[in-house]
Structure 1
Amino acid sequence: MSYNLLKGKKGIIFGALNEMSIAWKVAELAVAEGAEIVLTNTLVSIRMGTIDELAKKCNAQVIPADATSPEDLEVLFTKSMEIFGGKIDFVLHSIGMSPNVRKGLPYDELNYEYLKKTLDISAISFHKVLQTAKKLDAIAEWGSVVALTYAAAQRTMYEYNDMADAKSMLESIARSFGYIYGREKGVRINTISQSPTMTTAGSGVKGFDSLIDFSERMSPLGNATAEECANYCITLFSDLTKKVTMQNLFHDGGFSSMGMSYRAMSQYNKSFNPCDCKE
């Protein structure tokens, strides 16, 4: 069911790779709610993924851009405003990648050049997006910018590695830039801390299946799906949340407020075998 929450609005969606991507679901729903969108990703990701199918379905143009490149971002925002015939109302930042995770390097044996890439791609790119947009005055008054994050920014999660550092920085950027952009231009900036979701990027984290199962058992409402995350994004893009900014909003079925659940404890107890050993 469509509520026309984004009727007449224009937006840029970063990070749609394939149907597994949360950004893909957000793009579909944004258009269903009345928005016009531009899709963007790196050239390599565009070649690897199926974003052209999404563009056709959403009647959207694809503009290649490396979010770590201010030059690419300037072209992206300039062309998008030309396509829309005006300023942009919403932006989704759904970007994350860690070479250390991909290479299987543990946190206490990080490659620091890889760490720089992790931070640049997964967090600093968010600052570059915001700084470029502000420089060009590309986002309309009461516009909304949302970035996707994860609870590992606050809690240590097994094998999440240096992506946790990146997510912490991402959330800090949302607060720091949110104050400036809100004060000067009325633009709101928030992050959504989503349940572990089986995306292409998420599936690259060691033990991700177990993490999803654990989170499902811990969360009183269960894990939030990619489609449900898209619903939440749309509300933040809409005029219904005009005074929400600088927030990290947990969208995780209650996981972030839990210590231990009955289902998780029951499964934990099942893992023990009777033993009279003394060690």
Structure 2
Amino acid sequence: MAYNLLKGKKGIIFGALNADSIAWKVAERAFEEGATFTLTNTSVALRMGETAKLAEKCGAELIAADATNVEDLENLVKKSMEVLGGKIDFILHSIGMSPNVRKGRHYSDLDYNYLDKTLDISAISFHKVLQVARKLDAINEWGSVVALSYVAAQRTFYGYNDMADAKALLESIGRSFGYIYGRERNVRINTVSQSPTVTTAGSGVKGIDKLLDFGERMSPLGNATGDECADYCITLFSDLTRKVTMQNLFHDGGFSSMGMSLRALEQYEKGLGCDCECGDAGDHDHRYD
């Protein structure tokens, strides 16, 4: 059901690769709620993904941009304002990638060149987007910027690797820039800490299927889906949340406030009879798990 929450609003959406992407779902909902926007991703992602279909459906223009490249971002923002007919009202940052995760590097044995790329793509790009937008005075007063995060920024999750460091930095950037942009121009900046969600990026996390099951058992309301996350982002882009800024907002069915649930405890008890010889240094070395 549409409520015209974004009627007349304009924006830029980063990261819609395919129908599994949360950014894709946000774009669909923003369109339903009356917004116009541009869609952006790297040139390679636009060629390999299905974003052109989404652009056609939403009447949006595709603009290739590497979010780690300031010149690309300047071109993106300028062209978006030109296409949309003025300043924008919202931005979604839905970008994350870790070469260390993709290459199976353990957190205690990171490739630091890969780590630099992880931080640049997944977090520092957020700062670059905000810095470019501010310098170009591209966002209207009471505009809203949202970046997608995960609870691994606060808690350790096996297999999430250096993406946890990136998400912690992402959230810090949201707070620091939120103060500046809020005080100067009444622009609000928030991060949304979403439940584990099966996306192209999320599927690369080791044990994602088990993480989804654990989240479902732990959360009183169950895991939040990608569609539900899109709904939440729409409210943050709308005028209904004008005084919400500098927050990391947990959208996870209550997971982040839980210690142990009965469903998770019962599942844990079922596994107590299984002995694991962790002293075996073969293929089952769990000393650092």
SS in 1 for 2:127: helix
**Equivalent residue for 1:55?**
55
Task: Determine the structure 2 residue equivalent to 1:236.
Answer: 236
With structure 2 as the length reference, what TM-score do the two structures score? 0.94
Offset at residue 48 of structure 1 (A): 1.2
Measured after TM superposition, the shift of residue 216 of structure 1 is 0.5
1:9 corresponds to which residue? 9
Matched, 1:258 2:258: yes
Deviation string 1:149-202 (CA, Å, 9 cap, x unpaired) is 000000000110000000000000000000000000110000000000000100
Secondary structure of the structure 1 residue equivalent to 2:156: coil
Residue 163 of structure 1 aligns with an amino acid whose one-letter code is M
> In the aligned structure 1, how far is the partner of 2:125 from the partner of 2:133?
12
The letter of the residue matching 1:62 is L
**Aligned residues with identical type, % of pairs:** 76
Which residue does the alignment assign to 1:174?
Answer: 174
| CA distance in 2 between partners of 1:102 and 1:112 (Å) | 14
2:228 is paired with a residue whose SS is helix
Distance 1:274 1:165, change over 3 A: closer
- Post-superposition, which runs of at least 4 consecutive aligned residues in structure 1 deviate over 6 A? none
3-state SS of 1:26 partner: helix
After superposition, residues 113-192 of structure 1 pair within 5 angstroms as 113-192=113-192
Equivalent in the alignment of 2:218: 218
Aligned partners of 1:15, 1:6: CA distance in 2, in Å? 20
Partner Cα separation in structure 1 for residue 60 and residue 242 of structure 2: 26
For 2:31, give the aligned amino acid.
Answer: V
Show structure 1 runs of 5+ residues with no match: none
Alpha carbons of structure 1 residues 126 and 274: separation in structure 2 relative to 1, 3 Å? closer
Structure 2 gaps of 5+ residues are 276-289
Counterpart for residue 19 of structure 2: 19
Aligned residues: 276
Deviations 1:134-154 (A, max 9, x none): 000000000000000000000
Taking the aligned partners of 1:199 and 1:154, their CA distance within structure 2 comes to 21
Distance 2:88 2:273 in 1: 59
Is residue 30 of structure 2 the alignment partner of residue 30 of structure 1? Answer: yes
Residue 47 (structure 1) shift: 1.1
What is the deviation of 1:272?
Answer: 2.1
Q: Distance in 1 between matches of 2:129 and 2:141?
A: 17
- 1 CA distance for matches of 2:123 and 2:101? 16
TM-score (norm 1): 0.98
In structure 1, what is the Cα distance between the partners aligned to 2:274 and 2:162? 38
CA shift at 1:84, angstroms?
1.1
